Structure 1
Amino acid sequence: MNISSHYKLQHFIPWTRVKIYKMLILSVIPTLLFYFLDWKWLAIPWVPVALLGTATAFISGFKNTQTYNRTWEARQIYGAIINNSRAFGIMVKDFVREDDEQSTKIHQEIIYRHFAWLTALRFQLREIKSWENVKTKSYNLEYLKYYKVPEWESILDQELKSFLSEEERQYVLSTKNRATQIIAMQSSQLKKLNEEGKISDYSYVALENQLKELYDQQGKCERIKNFPYPRQFSSINLYFTNALCLLLPLGFIGEISKMIEKFGENIIWLVVPFSVLLGWVFLVLEQIGESTENPFEGSANDIPITQISRNIEIDLREMLGEKELPPAIQPNNNILM
């Protein structure tokens, strides 16, 4: 997540420079052919270009709206995880009854296991899927120099050592959906505490409902992660945009060639800057939508799930009365992960 007022041009232009090169090639070649070889047939009426541009604008707007909705929903889900985590921490601390020393130990065990759930979930969400773009597009790979993805820099095995016993850690690592099994372990312990009379029936039900809420939020994250923006809409947006960029210079040649008698032959070179600028706008709209459609893929536009998880950990550690707290995640070049 970029936390500055806007992307700086020194970052944004290089990120989109391939689109500029593409439009330069598409506009310079027909202009050269028209100017030097007198290929008049390259000039086409503006009407088909305008009609295609209208269709492209609609489909680009639709894609960007829908991909933004995916990102905003992901942020809402993690907002709910924050609230549910705090509520769960308070309930664990206040509902589990035991002598002071034993109670503190149980509180810590359950809350630390919750940290393990947050850790396992963010590692699962940052796994690369075949349809994601952050490691398949050259401009995204190049932009990785401005930030780091913590889940790619560390190993889940090592991260869980701080939160789970060795037996629990080995069991969790042997499962496919680690986050799911960690919540199942939480439920098993709560059931045992209820049977031992350390949690009342009412408190047990309330805590189980909190686990259900966490499962719900995890499932919503998995839905966004595992279901891509529909490929048919992504494809037509790509095809329409490329078709428009191909026709733009020809349409501009048709329009600007009408002014040759008045301003001279050299005016035809205005085709290049106009085509590059307008084509760049549509190509960048498509690229922006592409970079927004997967909010957990590890791009600079991701939901900052690492930072959110760390803030939850700090809050819950303070509930336990701990003084040595982990540092908050800091932005790298104004990007929070």
Structure 2
Amino acid sequence: MDSALSDPHNGSAEADGPTNSTTRPPSTPEGIALAYGSLLLMALLPIFFGALRSVRCARGKNASDMPETITSRDAARFPIIASCTLLGLYLFFKIFSQEYINLLLSMYFFVLGILALSHTISPFMNKFFPATFPNRQYQLLFTQGSGENKEEIINYEFDTKDLVCLGLSSIVGVWYLLRKHWIANNLFGLAFSLNGVELLHLNNVSTGCILLGGLFIYDVFWVFGTNVMVTVAKSFEAPIKLVFPQDLLEKGLEANNFAMLGLGDVVIPGIFIALLLRFDISLKKNTHTYFYTSFAAYIFGLGLTIFIMHIFKHAQPALLYLVPACIGFPVLVALAKGEVTEMFSYEESNPKDPAAVTESKGTEASASKGLEKKEK
């Protein structure tokens, strides 16, 4: 998982050495500003809409829509697992041919990307289908055993509209597989990020602090302590990062000098921000103070990352700045409002609890209406 913003003067997917005669010319100030402004916007979109959808999700029948709850044990182990994965990828790229590894990864993310993008665009596409559209229901059921011992392994319900979304997503997938174009990469990256924020749920604020604190150390070590993360980020040809060309103004859509932001810097703070939105709703005060505070903190933290990177001309671990901001700002607000106890005692409801399902129906509408009013 890439988790570092790239150096604006060395942001391409192919790193050129300082003595290489093919070194690209420095990016213009306008190009740098456009690239990092675009990365900031692309990071904010999946967090905002993913948090909204996290309130509505996981109450349906489809297993794919059920949230994956992260416990404190999961949070404590995650930095270790991420470190082993990152180091393993680094060794693979050192030992084996980069071309074949990326080919295998491309096929893997081709399938995942199509499914993620289809799930992302489905709610938006439903608004464009006419009322007369012949929509049929389907069910994919896979069971194990028989009689009383029968157990459902897969029980997925979908309709014709979902198949249309899957077809459109497949076009993007083929485009990405054949061209590796940065726009196709970003479409998949945005879909992965939004799905992550929507479907990965922290069970409480303490778990979020453990997860962000552990990844804070992970990020700092692998970026400042070694060259592992930057090397993997530049060698790994998969939509695990958002990219934007710094030479777009000069070369148009064929630009190739990229600035990048790892999806970890979007999803990890994003699931914490989404948790605070659900905490806001649980207070039943018709306000979203903690959500907006943490959202503003994310903007501040990522902006500070870009500023520091531009000053020191070195790739930065974004979580170094995002974690203190995303945790510190909401805690300060809780201290000012005297709600620290409520914040840290808040627990996510069990999605299978009938009472939680009933309560969620009322909170979904209030969350959407409240946020829409504030945005206007």
Fold shared per TM-score above 0.5: no
Q: Pick the TM interval, shorter chain.
A: under 0.3
TM-score, normalised relative to structure 1:
0.25
Bigger RCO (CA 8 Å, 6+ sep): 1
TM-score, normalised relative to structure 2:
0.23
* Greater share of strand: 2
